[in-house]
A and B are shown apart, each in its own frame.
Chain A
Amino acid sequence: MKVEIKAFMKPLPMKECIKEAALDAVVDETVRLKGSFVSELFHPGPWERFKRCTRPRAEVELSAGGLFIARGEDDYLDFAEAILSIGALARGKFGEAVELAELTGTRLRANPEGDGIKLSFAGFYGLVKVIKGNITFSTDETTVTIPIEDFLKAEQRFLDSLAMHLGELFDVCSKHGLERAFVENTRALRFLLKVVGYENRMGY
């Protein structure tokens, strides 16, 4: 079965976004109730706002045999993380990932449920499980099953493009002095790359 994972990253309008974020932050910091726990919780600080500017959007899709499992516009990094979570599950390493994530304080987007994971990305919301060499994607309406090796082949191609995209993204961030935002944003992603054993091939 032909599995395809595609993501077309959109260019980041960094400068405009930062200007807007800074303006919002000024307004918010001026009117926000200082020292209030709840207020701090629901009003992102200026840094959180800048960080959002370094997350590109992307046209993404995950399809198997011409059938779309997920498709639409999503946050590029979130989509990549979802794919990597599935990859970790397919390799039987997701349990290990959860343990390590807890130890290192990394927050993952995928939640373990039973022997599978609950995921939400690009219009897909449901359970992903590994059953006898197949990965099943089940939502309320449908269930799609694809063989693990087909998924892994597609994942491999995606990872190669991911490595390149992350390199590009880092360059854009560092041009604006936001290297740390990149590092913070890609934390879960880099963590999962380690878990699936890909980190040595990242070209940066």
Chain B
Amino acid sequence: MSGHSVEEIRQETRKYWVIFVALVALTVITVGVSYLDLSESMHITVALLIACLKGGLVAAVFMHLISEKQAIYAILLLTVVFFVVLMLGPAFGRWGSTGVV
């Protein structure tokens, strides 16, 4: 996000407020859904899906990841790989102790 014209920046700022409204709406939805009578796994799935969507909007628009340089994508690709390994840690831990994932 560098070297943009004044008009492009103005358009960007309008987009920021649209994303703000979307984030507020998704926050209200995630709280609303938490009061519904669903199974625990359903609650976890829905809440994390909404959180991923919100996080994606913040990263893509506010952090300008939608139009970034290759070097940053490369760093993030590596980060995602290690993050996934980290999050799989609990599954591996249980596998080691109980024989099942």
A, B bound: no
- A: residues with CB less than 8 A from B are none
- B: residues with CB less than 8 A from A are none
